[in-house]
Amino acid sequence: METFFYCQSCDSKITIDQLALLNEGKCPSCGSIEGFSSVPKNEGDPFETVTVINDAELLEKSFEEGNQ
């Protein structure tokens, strides 16, 4: 199951792999640096179901895929 993340500014959807490759954390659609959430903005308060990903997890996933 693939995890998607949504821009907190324009609500565009990206994959976790795309998130790991972002230039300075900017949204590829709108250029915002507001950040990304695992739920779209229109789903109300995301804090009950939000998934938090830290840099170590992103780097680990990137290295795992690079070694395959």
Strands in 1-68 per DSSP E: 4-7, 13-15, 36-37
pLDDT at site 30: 93
CA proximity to 20, closest of 50, 49, 63: 63
Length of the chain: 68
pLDDT at site 50: 64
Cβ atoms of 17 and 59 within 8 Å: the answer is no
Tens of pLDDT, residue by residue, the chain (68 residues): 788 999 988 999 999 889 889 888 899 999 998 888 888 877 665 556 666 666 676 677 666 766 65
pTM of full prediction above 0.85: no
**Alpha carbon distances (Å) from 26 to 13, 43, 44, 65:** 13, 22, 23, 22
